Structure 1
Amino acid sequence: MKWKIENVLENKWEQEIAVLGFAFTLFSIKNDWILFRSFQAVLPGIVYFFILYFHAQCNRFFLLPILFKKHKPLIYLAFTAILAFFFSVALYEIANNYLYQTSALAKFSHQKSYPYQLASVVGTLICVLGPTTLLKFYSEQKKQSSETILLNQMQLNSLRSQLNPHFLFNTFNTLYGISLEYPERTPDLIMKVSQLMRYQLESTDRQCVTIEEELSFIDSYIQLEKERVGYRCEILYDCKIDNENAYKISPMLLIGFVENAFKHGAGTIESCYVRIKITVEKGKLHLNIVNSIPEKKREIISTKIGLKNTKERLELLYPGTYNLDLHETGNTYTVDLRLQLKKIVQC
């Protein structure tokens, strides 16, 4: 059986063995390895060490919960001092009357003094409580992180399950509008919609897609909207990537902003526009969308899921690495997103 650090961090019994070995090693070094010079010194030395170790374990299992569970540090310190006093007195008597008589543990005169025994008790306590507390903290943090990751994944799955029908709803609304005005173009448009649906379906189970795939999907969606409202709405789309096939992004992350721009910016017979600019430079994505707001707003059917879900997904997937600015000024609505993309190897 191989001894690995990962095993120690995960297995409770291996943690105990590691802490015991660590404390015993320091104890042996403190005594100049005299425990191993003769058989006669081994047994008294082990007894001496396990008195120290027993004291540390008593503090760990009976007193430390007062600090961590009941949050009473002063009571914990008081009981710790009392327990250390009694153990140091007992160790002083046992060591001088029994252990030192049959071994060479006491190499110097100061080792027979009470302050030395008290220092040994406190020092061993620190050597045991330090690693055990650190390991406990590590285990709790890992458990908390695992629970957070699981919760985030459940939330993402829930958001995706809401986003899929929302995207279908908007796409088929677009297709329906085009078929009413240009029925002869419907077969070609159905083919384009099917390609969009294929991407949406295939990307559902993927954590990341290449930025090129995502932008190609957006480009296809914009082309579909041009078929629908391009004759009466100014549609500008500009996309630049400085390093292809280097970065990835969560699928269907940007489409909510694009859908919203066309839904509200092109949903009128008045003069309108939708301007979309996307740049990827040194791993940073900059999405800027500006759409017009009609003076006479008409009632637009909206589930209000798209933008809400997109903002929630950004917070779950890219916390602290994005900046989103949504603002309305006069007859213009602007979306400005700056996002640090993940490299392909990170997904």
Structure 2
Amino acid sequence: MLKLSNKSIQFIKTTFNVTFIAIISIELLREAFLSIPYDWLFFLTSDAIENFVFVLMAYGLYYYVFKLNSIWKKIGFVVLFIFLLIGLASLKDFRIHNRIEFEQSFEYFTSFLGKLLLFYLGIYFINRLAFLNQYKKLKKELNQAKEQILRNQLHPHFLFNAFNSLYSLSLKNHPETSDYILKLSSMMRYLTDETHLRKVRLNREIDFIKKYIDIEKMRFGKDASIQLITDENVHGEVLIAPFLLIILVENAFKHGFYTNSKDAFVKIKVNIENDELFFFVENSIFKKQHFQESNREGKGLENLRQRLLLLYPKHSSIKITNTGETHTAQLKISLT
């Protein structure tokens, strides 16, 4: 939908009201100049007078009557306006037919009522543009708040796994425990400093994933089969919503390295083609492991799907494939 600035809305409102009133006023003056010297009754029942009265009523209803606190005052003004319309209809019927007939006067009355309603709706719509614009703004802010809540749900989950790994290393007096803490500190800084932003550079997300992979290599050994392949098109100018890709990477390690088998692997590819980001994650699955999708993992993937709907509606897709031996996740996001 078209989004208008407050300045544009004010310009449209002012232009409409000034133009509308100017046309009605010019028509009234022209009719007065031509009719008053010769036929007062014709002038009082002319289209110019009728339109002028309808405009006064429409503006009165919008700016005054419907803003009254008393319901009885509102009803009183509406009844008064109805009687004015009945009077104009009867006067027009008398001027044209030299008599007043109910059916003909009622026809004029309904015509006047329809024209009054049309004028009122025009004034109402123009003056509600700001509210429509505010509604769109509030809807956007609500979606951003929902997305931020979903994103924040992932941070404790990630830190829980990271500290579990740190605890495991410390029990073994692993020589690289200090390096682990250093990398984890750098990742936590990214979580606190940048993931609240709507968009971050893709290479920052990739750098975060690299640090995560380095930490996992400390856990499973440097000979662990872990690959991260990035296309040369992946550069710092590409922007993406933060903390999307890591969810699939985390799940891959839970699947692929659930057991410490030498055949375990995780393979990650990042590619950009025709302004579309392709993120591919494949990992091994072993029948001997009592693997079940836990509630935590299911929430992670569901969280990702909900965030994609909020951030990239109709511009993203995710496909999960499980063959029994391998688990594959393919994420596509349009960057335009």
Same fold (TM over 0.5): yes
2:265 corresponds to 1:283:
no
Q: Secondary structure at the match of 2:258?
A: coil
Q: Deviations over 1:227-268 (max 9, x none)?
A: 222456421210114263322111111111101101121111
Q: Distance in 2 between matches of 1:243 and 1:332?
A: 26
Residue type of the alignment partner of 2:264: C
1:54–1:206 distance in 2 versus 1, CA, 3 Å: same
Q: Deviations over 1:316-345 (max 9, x none)?
A: 111111011112122111111100125xxx
1:36–1:307 distance in 2 versus 1, CA, 3 Å: same
- Which of 30, 41, 52 lines up with 1:50 in the alignment? 52
1:140–1:91 distance in 2 versus 1, CA, 3 Å: farther
1:203 alignment counterpart: 194
1:219 alignment counterpart: 210
Q: Which moved more, 1:155-164 or 1:252-261?
A: 155-164
RMSD of equivalent CA atoms: 4.2
1:34 alignment counterpart: 30
TM-score (norm 2): 0.71
Residue type of the alignment partner of 2:283: N
- Which of 280, 284, 296 lines up with 1:292 in the alignment? 284
Q: Deviations over 1:119-153 (max 9, x none)?
A: 98478547624523533664554344234223323
Q: Deviations over 1:26-50 (max 9, x none)?
A: 4356x49725969x79x97985543
Q: Distance in 1 between matches of 2:90 and 2:18?
A: 24
1:188 Cα shift?
A: 1.6
Please say if residues 293 and 331 of structure 1, whose CA atoms lie closer than 8 Å, have aligned partners that are also in contact.
yes
Please say if residues 208 and 251 of structure 1, whose CA atoms lie closer than 8 Å, have aligned partners that are also in contact.
yes
1:283 Cα shift?
A: 2.6
Q: Deviations over 1:92-138 (max 9, x none)?
A: 26988xxxxxxxxxxxxxxxxx9xx8898478547624523533664
Residue type of the alignment partner of 1:27: I
1:273 Cα shift?
A: 1.1
1:223 Cα shift?
A: 2.0
1:267–1:121 distance in 2 versus 1, CA, 3 Å: same
1:220–1:89 distance in 2 versus 1, CA, 3 Å: same
Please say if residues 277 and 332 of structure 2, whose CA atoms lie closer than 8 Å, have aligned partners that are also in contact.
yes
Q: Distance in 1 between matches of 2:284 and 2:236?
A: 34
Please say if residues 232 and 269 of structure 1, whose CA atoms lie closer than 8 Å, have aligned partners that are also in contact.
no
Q: Distance in 1 between matches of 2:329 and 2:15?
A: 55
1:178–1:94 distance in 2 versus 1, CA, 3 Å: farther
1:286 Cα shift?
A: 0.3
Q: Which moved more, 1:175-184 or 1:192-201?
A: 175-184
1:316–1:201 distance in 2 versus 1, CA, 3 Å: same
1:92 alignment counterpart: 92
Q: Secondary structure at the match of 2:279?
A: strand
Q: Secondary structure at the match of 1:280?
A: strand
Residue type of the alignment partner of 1:6: I
Q: Deviations over 1:158-203 (max 9, x none)?
A: 2233211111111222333344456111112211111111111111
Q: Distance in 2 between matches of 1:336 and 1:315?
A: 16
Q: Distance in 2 between matches of 1:330 and 1:247?
A: 35
Please say if residues 28 and 52 of structure 2, whose CA atoms lie closer than 8 Å, have aligned partners that are also in contact.
no
2:322 corresponds to 1:332:
no
- Which of 6, 20, 23 lines up with 1:23 in the alignment? 20
Residue type of the alignment partner of 2:30: I
Please say if residues 85 and 113 of structure 2, whose CA atoms lie closer than 8 Å, have aligned partners that are also in contact.
no
2:317 corresponds to 1:323:
yes
Please say if residues 261 and 291 of structure 1, whose CA atoms lie closer than 8 Å, have aligned partners that are also in contact.
yes
TM-score (norm 1): 0.69
1:12 alignment counterpart: none
1:240–1:120 distance in 2 versus 1, CA, 3 Å: same
2:210 corresponds to 1:237:
no
1:272 alignment counterpart: 264
Contiguous gaps of at least 5 residues in structure 1 = 10-14, 62-81, 97-113, 343-347
Q: Secondary structure at the match of 1:183?
A: coil
1:77 alignment counterpart: none
Contiguous gaps of at least 5 residues in structure 2 = 1-5, 38-42, 64-81, 97-104
Q: How many residues align?
A: 298
Please say if residues 156 and 313 of structure 1, whose CA atoms lie closer than 8 Å, have aligned partners that are also in contact.
yes
Q: Distance in 1 between matches of 2:95 and 2:177?
A: 96
Please say if residues 275 and 335 of structure 2, whose CA atoms lie closer than 8 Å, have aligned partners that are also in contact.
yes
Q: Which moved more, 1:284-293 or 1:50-59?
A: 50-59
Question: Quick one: percent identity of the two aligned structures?
Answer: 30
1:291 Cα shift?
A: 0.9
Q: Distance in 2 between matches of 1:233 and 1:183?
A: 17
1:132 alignment counterpart: 123
